[in-house]
Structure 1
Amino acid sequence: MRGHKDSNRVPALLVLDLDGTTCDDQGNISRENRRALQWVRSQGNMVCFATGRREVDMLPLGDVSDCADYLLLNNGGKLVETGSGRVLFRERIDPVSARQLVEFCLHHDYLLHVLAGPLWAVNKENDSLREYADQLGVWPSRFQHCDQLPLDDIEGFTVTQDWKPVWEFVRRKGLALSVTPSDPTSVDIMAPGISKWNGICRLLSLLPVQPFRIIAVGDYDNDIEMIKNSDIGVAVANARPHVKGAADYVSPFCNNEDTVAHIVAHFFEEIQ
């Protein structure tokens, strides 16, 4: 989406992936990155975090309304206005497909994370899950059959170590689901058509004033579409090679080196 200068447009919409991009390897946003984003907003621009994180995954970051206007969660399936907490849109999975997937994972004893708003439910536990729950400070509820879940209100699933046979099941059965790798060890399962770029387009349709330019920054496969389609697509130094190949610019700094602050310094003076 290529912009044209217009007096009725705000200067820019900066869209940032969180994990591996804005956040360091400990999952924190550095003071330098926060300050840079606060400055970006003070100049009349907008900031949106676009992430595969679900609502529960955002708990360790706390309030981000000081450095972002919007949170695009669930790989683009849910948009939240940070200042008010208002949900602007929220996609849900087809309940028939949800039931089939849950039954398959229960039958094969595959660990399945079920996400529906603040609900986080799992069918089993392992050491990795317990460690993550300790980090969040929240424990998931347990389910043993489908009727314990709100099948008509599920936003998405996450599968970790057993993702390959689960992905193959979704493909073979032709379920109304999309599967997106979110990191090398897990996949997110959502309603069809959900992506970060599609979520950005929906955000743009809701804005009363359109941005002059869209800058998207990321590191992983689920960022490629928004990097390719934005006016300026940026990959961080630690991005996968094919993500870098899709970008207009590759930052020389990784996510542990305040790369967002450097990207702001690199691009925003000329935009203002």
Structure 2
Amino acid sequence: MNVRAIFIDMDGTLLTASNNISKRNLEAIYMLQNQGVKVFLATGRHYEVTAPYHKEIGLQTPMICLNGASIHDAETGKAIQMKTVQVNEERFHQLTAEHAFNVMIHTANGLYCKEINEEIDYWTKVGQIPPRYIGDLRQANYQDVLKYSVRTGAPIPELSTLFKKEAEVINWNDGFELLAPNVSKWSAIKSLLRTLRISPNEVVAIGDGPNDIEMLRHVGTGVAMGNASEEVKKAADFVTGHHENDGLAEFIEGYLQIPYKSYVI
């Protein structure tokens, strides 16, 4: 394959369930870089909990965060692109406050949330920055929203559909997310490819979630993880192994023909 760039999702793709990068995945990425392939992270995470892994790998490429709502400079971390979303706040909070949902609002200035959970505790530990506000979000003073995340505990498309005229909706098994219209990992990738003068045909993208579907469909080679849903797999050109079994490295070694060879880093 003539590959000049690869965009890698983090959770369920690069990382194990314990939020680690396996040695085999790390070595496969190093081999790609040694062959001149540009490696990017494209994640739903915010910058603070993306940057430590970006640093661990030693990447020098911009980070696509919050499903494409922001792109961050590799060296400074400064947002070089941000796409804010606007919904009817009164209506949003009325609909979500009627249920025992946790709501997380990612803004240009940090995270606002209804309540703390295990996920937010992990973000605080890794990113070293706690939420700016915890409590009734109707009383919070925030602006420049990049992503709304509603944790319902189960799919609830009848609620998320109500926001389709205002925002880009991503449905998950445990809730949904809202972005600015037409914002996705793919929209951010397109922006970077124009700057780098790389054709989408020379690009690989690999992921496992509904937020990865657009990029898998539009790059030259889309790769779904073995742990992905059938919907995600149908959007891809290839399906590789499970993220707990180094599916990322499996694809790099097999389809990009870079052999696995353990060596001291």
Fold conserved between structures, TM > 0.5: yes
1:30 to 17, 22, 27: 22
Ranked by relative contact order (alpha carbons within 8 Å, sequence separation 6 or more), the top structure is: 1
Distance in 1 between residues matched to 2:196 and 2:50, nearest whole Å: 24
**Per-residue deviation, 1:206:** 2.1
Indicate whether 1:259 and 2:259 are aligned.
no
Distance in 1 between residues matched to 2:151 and 2:92, nearest whole Å: 14
Q: TM-score, normalised by structure 2?
A: 0.82
Shift of the 242–87 alpha-carbon distance from structure 1 to 2, 3 Å rule, reads: same
**Per-residue deviation, 1:85:** 2.0
Shift of the 203–222 alpha-carbon distance from structure 1 to 2, 3 Å rule, reads: same
Task: Report the counterpart of residue 50 of structure 2 in structure 1.
Answer: 58
1:226 to 197, 207, 215: 215
Root-mean-square deviation (CA), in Å? 2.9
Q: Single out whichever of 218-227 and 106-115 deviates more from structure 2.
A: 106-115
Distance in 1 between residues matched to 2:158 and 2:13, nearest whole Å: 29
Contact 1:49–1:68 (Cα < 8 Å) also in 2: no
Identity of aligned residues (%): 24
Shift of the 170–20 alpha-carbon distance from structure 1 to 2, 3 Å rule, reads: closer
Task: Report the counterpart of residue 191 of structure 1 in structure 2.
Answer: 180
Structure 1, unaligned runs of 5 or more: 6-10
Shift of the 102–237 alpha-carbon distance from structure 1 to 2, 3 Å rule, reads: same
Contact 1:13–1:211 (Cα < 8 Å) also in 2: no
Shift of the 241–171 alpha-carbon distance from structure 1 to 2, 3 Å rule, reads: closer
Task: Report the counterpart of residue 106 of structure 2 in structure 1.
Answer: 115
The size of the alignment, in residue pairs, is 253
Q: Single out whichever of 47-56 and 187-196 deviates more from structure 2.
A: 47-56
Q: TM-score, normalised by structure 1?
A: 0.80
**Per-residue deviation, 1:192:** 1.1
Shift of the 175–162 alpha-carbon distance from structure 1 to 2, 3 Å rule, reads: farther
- Segments of 4+ in structure 1 off by > 6 A? none
Q: Deviations over 1:93-152 (max 9, x none)?
A: 12x534532344345554211111351111234xxx1x223323254322435452223x
Indicate whether 1:133 and 2:120 are aligned.
yes
User: 1:1-272 maps to which residues of 2 (within 5 A)?
Assistant: 11-58=3-50, 61=53, 63-64=55-56, 66-67=58-59, 69-94=61-86, 97-106=88-97, 108=99, 110-125=101-116, 129=117, 131-136=118-123, 137=125, 139-140=130-131, 141-146=133-138, 148-151=140-143, 153-161=144-152, 168-169=158-159, 171-172=161-162, 175-181=165-171, 183-208=172-197, 213-251=202-240, 253-269=241-257
Shift of the 91–28 alpha-carbon distance from structure 1 to 2, 3 Å rule, reads: same
* 2:166 partner letter: A
